[in-house]
Structure formats: structure tokens, C-alpha cells
Structure 1
């Protein structure tokens, strides 16, 4: 175990647990400010090397601006196609009702900057080059089990290999199954019970706070070689832009990655009535081509072409968290999926992790922050970032329901949408659902509602959040 010094002259020791996008971005952001503040950053990754799950990742203008401010833009350009004019309107998504043999109803979502897509591992590797910094020490094969708080104010990390380390600050970037969050929530419950705060105890004890719950959806994932798809259809829409193929209780998101070398396929199948339950069994399992073909049987031609090229897909249970009431406790905070794991229906999970890291790093590296004031700085981070992360989490869930024609107070008629239009026949040229729903109007309504849910991603700037956090810190405002 490494001893910790209480001297303010010694570097503040920061442990970042989790070597995914959230943890790497935070370590880089902290290290870049280490020239003005004495800080030692230790990044812990459970795997023997950096690894990421899933294949595709999308990025809107807000997180892209963070990448540039952290001087990471050039690296991202090596793995993604960045628009020459970042303010111009670009196609972010094409939406269509696709659960029928013929689909002519489309909605194109053009937004400033658009939605750049890339392979998650390539993106992570591009970031990892910046970890070779004297202020950062990276540790592999170190899985956190729990942490405890010491009498001297330090945080004692307990790892699976039996080792322990002590730090001034702990940031959990360890994903949806975060050990940091589990320890933090339990310690917060203990303190709330001791203080007689029964409301907070009840809030912290809700399902989906300490441990994740199932969204009711599974996702079939696969990478499709672009050259093979081009042979089937040289004009396939997913070769150049993200496409959302929508259907009742199912939808598919597909988009180019690896600078167009592959197409990332994610096919969702949902049981809405199972939302909030606990998924039983392995989170990720291998499936067959036949499983995917059966799930999307009778869908439009472009879907058939994608499915034809899927060889050995994996099936993922999409677990989420409920809106957390806290994201920090004492000298500990959580970021990214550890704080607000969400469905992927806004393509914003990674972006929120990047934004969390950016704001948190600005606070921790502020010249006024000392060991004694770290908990206050973390509470300011929580006040600024947690409501936004929870809001994006909510909007992502709403978008997913829209894509699968789930009715809500805005669109009660979605409950009458059948799984096919045009009388379920490929030869019928009618564009009216058998229950009277006009498919063109349906897709337009869903598209416009999704855009409204998404506008924060290009009409606001996380720099505003950062400056408000710094103002609160400098003016002594309580979080």
C-alpha cells in the first residue's frame, strides 16, 4: 500500500478507475493542466490492455468541441471524416419506416456539423497516445472491488489481486457495473441513515441506482465489410451516412466506421413490458445469422441486404441506470456510464462521458482547489453535470420509444400502428397503414420529435457548463 501525504506541497493524488473513453479523456484533461497544478494521475484498467466493447460510436458538435479544446482533434481526424465546414448542415440520420418489403417514407435529419461516426476501439486508441505524459501512470490488470474512507481523509482502493492503494481523489469511470458507484451509494446510504434523512435513503435504494436494470431491449451487433455491401448495392444508404430503419418494437441503426471501410450494424428488439426488470444470464452472447434474419423477416430491401452479410452476430442486453440523485460523495465522484448509463438511442453516451471529464478536470485543476476543498469541487461538478446527464438519458429513452412506435401523450395514435403498412403486401401502392395511419406523416412526426429531443447537441456548448462550474467555485457558492 502506498502512503499518502497530507502536505499541500505534495502532489494531489488522483485515481481514475476505468480505462474506457471516460477515464482516458479525464486523465488527459487532468494531465494537460498539471503544469499549473501539482497533480499525480493514476489510471487503472481491469483488462491487461486497453479494450472497448461494441464497435460504433457517434459524435455530435458538443463533444467534438471538447476534443479540439483538449488538442485531440487531429487524432480524431485519423479515424473519422470531419466536415470541412463545421457549421454547415450535414446529414446526421436518415429515418424510414422499414418493417415492410417496400419503404418510401423517409425523414432526413440535417444539423450543424452532423454526426461523425467511427470505430470505438480506433477512437480509444487515438486518445491513448496522449497518456504518455509524466503526470499519468497507467496500471493494467487492476480491477477495483470497493473503496473505503480512511481516518486521515484518504481513499483506500481495494483491488481483486489483493493489493490496496491510497489516494486523495477517486473518480469512477468504470462503466455501468461500476464498483465505485456501488461503494459510493452504500456509503451515502449509511451517512443518510445516520443523519435521519429517510427520503435520501429511499431515493438511493431504488432499483437501477446501485445496480443496473434492463431496458427491455436487446441489440444484435455486427460489423459488415463495406466492399461486400457495395457489391450487393453500390448505392446502399449506410455506406455514406447513418440510417435508422424503424419498425414496431424493433429498429436498426447502421452507419459507416473506420473511414468507410465497414458498416456498423445494431439491430434492436424490444419487450417494452420488461423495462425495469433484471436481465437474467450473460449480458453478451453469440447468436447466428438465422436469429437476425428471423427478427427482421419481411423488412425492406436495404435491411435484407445488411442482414444477408451478417455472419456471427453478438446479442447484447441493453442495461441502464435510473436517474441518479448523486454523482459524488466526499472525495469520490463518478462519470460517464457509471453516472448515467443510457440506451444508445441518441448516440450520446460517449459524448456525455467526454463532457463529464472536461468539466470535472477544470474544477479539480483549478488553482484554488486543495485537498480540503475537493469534496466541494466534486459537488459543484455534480450540480452542473448530473442534471444534464440525466436529461440526455431520459431523452435517449424517449427517442428509442419513438423509433419503435411506442405511444405517449404526444403521439397516442402510435399505439395503433401495425407492423406493416400497405396492407402487408409488397404490390399494394397505398401509403396508408391498415389502421388508418399515414406512413409519411408518421415518419415525419417521429423525425421532428427526435430532432427536438436532440437539439441540445448542437444548439448548446459544454463550455457554458464549465464556466458556470468555475464561477460557483470562485465565488464560494454552495453546490
Structure 2
């Protein structure tokens, strides 16, 4: 009798719960359906909102996540939204950089890298993913905000939602963003386990500020997307009309680039308070601001910045919260991906890209032909081993880039921050760009396919053992 019950259980589909319908959750669902046997998995996606919605404006995509898009046959989905580098292996303009916190314009330093950088309107991209997913064998539930979860005696996971409902799954993928309830519960339970085991070092790592709950990066940003035609009327030769530009200055900088095939301009204006990094932000994370606020923030900057500011009537101000490097991102049959695992500052333009890479590697493990319920924790630990160190390093480099762009004192590059008032701004910008390019080399010298293959190798070796 027992043997029959076990056999029937093994034949039942693995119940996959994805919490969060942003880019991370949607990409994981797509990756899972791309290679999985629909009879082997039952996929449910739980979204807190009443429909798929996305916050933010533009995103960038370097070669690594673009390769994932190609392998999942998603390129045609976004070709109408952006200009794809051709040929991809050639050097392409990624962005331009100029020191702009003075009234006189400086030379724009052009940065070329293999493949370059694909820019997308975040809402358009997320909407396209959601529509694509409608054709796949998954069940979507809206108005489902996760409160916490509990692993039951039989190994299944009980999900508790804010509306009082519950669901059961075999594996939980937390794609619920920086304020992840999945991560919060996972870190809490991991801390209790480490305390019970007397693992003081792990307890110390798990209880650091910025691990269970986010902390403020010390930076906020003005955000807006506006019609390119407004800028063209002011200056038909404005650099942002054709390429991403990073206007840098002391304690603030601006990143602008065209989206929606050049019809719109994405504006992000950063304002930093370095002494506040690591503190807890107590106010609203998004607030409306006035045109006058924006003018005051960049008073005395070069003409191209003044022209950008003139195009913006009422920007929103976003507080940039982040996580510290997590020591773990999986516990038993639960894991987190994307911002839930490694929310970072946007100064590498790689937050969305890292979510895409997480989704790709994790889906490859969970759709392995030998995958069973019992092997899920092993697969999730392999995902953690392969992906978390890489994502944490990108998180660190993104933070360093932000300091470079705003001449904030850095232990690693003290001479660059000290040179903020140098008589040779062009040389200063060149040195900053050289360091930033070093931080970005992973984007074109490595391939996420290698990480996927390593993850599969570790899984298969573990199965043999």
C-alpha cells in the first residue's frame, strides 16, 4: 500500500509557485515552459496587483542577457521596441560620458564595447512578456500578496496570502522584488536554523542590516519618460536623441537614453547623500516633485542638461533601496531570484539582466530530466552556488560605479574622487571610464551559458553520488 502511494506521488506534476509577476517572475515562467514537459510541472504565478504592472522606465541589456533572449526565442518579441546591434560581435557604442556640473560643455567620451547595449522601455518589455506567457501552460492568480510561507512535515510548502487564502506547492520561487516576503521569511528561518546549529558566523551574516530587509543606498533619483520631439525642438543635435549619455558631477549624475525606437527619452537624474548609505529610509519610496525641484538639483550644469530639464514638467522622485550581499538565496525547496536576491543600484544597468540570467539557470536545473521533488533542494543549492557569487559581484561593481560617477571618496579609487575639481576634466573622465569598463568586462567576456552548463554538471555529479 505504501509503495503504491509513493509511486502515485512521484507521478504527480511538481507544483511550482512563482511569487511576483515582474520581469524576474515572467522570465522564469517563460524559461520553465520553454524546456519543461507540461505533464511534469504544474506552474502557478501569484501577482500581488490586480494585473501585471511594472514600475520604472528604461532598462539596458548587455550581451549576456541578450543571449538568453535568443536562446529562449524571445528576440522577435522585442525587435520592434529597440535597435539591435548588427553584427552583434562587433564593437558598438554603449554610452557616452561627460563631466557636466559646470556651465561649459565638455567633450563627450564615447565608450565602445562588444555588442553594445540594447535599451528598452521597461513597461513595453514587461507587457510583451506577459502577453507571450498567455500562450503557455501556466495559471496566473492576481491580487495575491504573499505574507509568509511554512514548510510542512511532508515537505510541501504552505503559502499564506494577505487575503487570507492559502496554497500548496512543492517549490517556491520568490520573484517578489526588493521587499520580498519570500526572502524575509527565508532569512528568518535560516537564522533560526543557524542559531540552533551553533553556527555563529552564519548568524552574523544573516542578521546584518540589508540582508533580510533593504537599506537605503543614500541615493534617490528623478525619473521621467518624455517625447523625444520636445528635446528635438530645443536642440535637434542633442546627444541623447541618438545615444545613451552619462552626465556626471559631484554627488549627482544623469543617465539619459532613447527608448521606444527613439520616440521617447528616458531620464534618470541621481542625487546622492553618501553619508546616508546603509540607513533606513522612513518616508515614501516614490513621490511627485516639481519642475522647480529638478531645476534646483542641476543648477549651473552644462547646456545639454539644461535642455533636458526644460522638457520635464513633473518628475517623480524614487528612493533607491538595496540589499547587502546575501550569504544564501536558497533554503530547502525555496529560493529567490532577481531583486529579491540581489537588489542593486542601477549604475551597471544590469538589474533586469541579472534577473533574466537567474531565471535561465534556475529553469534549466528544475527542468532537468531527472528532477523530482526530493532533488529540488539540491538543485536550488546548486543555483545558489553558481549564480549568487556572480550577482553579488555585479551588485558590488554597480555600487563602485555610482561612486565613480559622482566623485565620492572610495578606498579603491581615492585619486579619482580627489580629482573632482581637476583642471583637466577630460583626463579625469577617461580614467573613470577606464575603471567602469573594467567593471563591465564580465558583460562581454563571459557567457551565462557557461554558468548553466556548470550548474547542470554539478547536478548530474550529485545524482551519481
Q: TM-score, normalised by structure 1?
A: 0.94
Mapped to 1, the partners of 2:249 and 2:332 lie a distance apart of 46
Aligned to 1:465: 451
Mapped to 1, the partners of 2:449 and 2:38 lie a distance apart of 20
Give the structure with the higher percent helix.
2
Bigger mean CA deviation after superposition, 407-416 or 128-137:
407-416
Aligned to 1:445: 431
Mapped to 2, the partners of 1:37 and 1:451 lie a distance apart of 45
How far is 1:201 from its partner?
1.1
On the 8 A contact 1:39/1:135 being kept in 2, the answer is no
Q: What secondary structure, in the 3-state scheme, does the structure 2 residue paired with 1:471 have?
A: helix
How far is 1:107 from its partner?
1.8
Which residue of the other structure, out of 324, 334, 337, is the alignment partner of 2:336? 334
On the 8 A contact 1:15/1:41 being kept in 2, the answer is yes
Q: How many residues align?
A: 460
Tell me, which stretches of 5 or more residues in structure 1 are unaligned?
419-432
User: Cα deviations across residues 40-78 of structure 1 (Å, max 9, x unaligned)?
Assistant: 111111111111111111000100000010110100112
Aligned to 1:248: 250
Aligned to 2:36: 34
Mapped to 2, the partners of 1:346 and 1:121 lie a distance apart of 20
Residues 370-449 of structure 1 mapped to structure 2, 5 A cutoff:
370-418=372-420, 433=421, 436-449=422-435
Aligned to 1:108: 110
Mapped to 2, the partners of 1:477 and 1:106 lie a distance apart of 54
Bigger mean CA deviation after superposition, 362-371 or 97-106:
97-106
On the 8 A contact 1:219/1:315 being kept in 2, the answer is yes
Q: What secondary structure, in the 3-state scheme, does the structure 1 residue paired with 2:77 have?
A: helix
Mapped to 2, the partners of 1:408 and 1:205 lie a distance apart of 26
Q: TM-score, normalised by structure 2?
A: 0.96
Mapped to 1, the partners of 2:26 and 2:364 lie a distance apart of 15
How far is 1:202 from its partner?
1.3
Mapped to 1, the partners of 2:7 and 2:311 lie a distance apart of 58
Bigger mean CA deviation after superposition, 132-141 or 339-348:
132-141
Q: What secondary structure, in the 3-state scheme, does the structure 1 residue paired with 2:395 have?
A: helix
Which residue of the other structure, out of 147, 150, 156, is the alignment partner of 1:148? 150
Task: State whether structure 2 residue 349 is matched by structure 1 residue 347.
Answer: yes
Residues 211-230 of structure 1 mapped to structure 2, 5 A cutoff:
211-230=213-232
Q: What secondary structure, in the 3-state scheme, does the structure 1 residue paired with 2:98 have?
A: strand
Aligned to 1:424: none
Mapped to 1, the partners of 2:78 and 2:136 lie a distance apart of 23
Q: What secondary structure, in the 3-state scheme, does the structure 1 residue paired with 2:283 have?
A: coil
Q: What secondary structure, in the 3-state scheme, does the structure 1 residue paired with 2:9 have?
A: coil
Mapped to 2, the partners of 1:274 and 1:407 lie a distance apart of 14
Tell me, which stretches of 5 or more residues in structure 2 are unaligned?
1-5
On the 8 A contact 2:416/2:432 being kept in 1, the answer is no
Q: CA RMSD in A?
A: 1.6
User: Cα deviations across residues 201-230 of structure 1 (Å, max 9, x unaligned)?
Assistant: 111011000000000000000112101110
Which residue of the other structure, out of 56, 59, 69, is the alignment partner of 1:57? 59
Bigger mean CA deviation after superposition, 322-331 or 402-411:
402-411
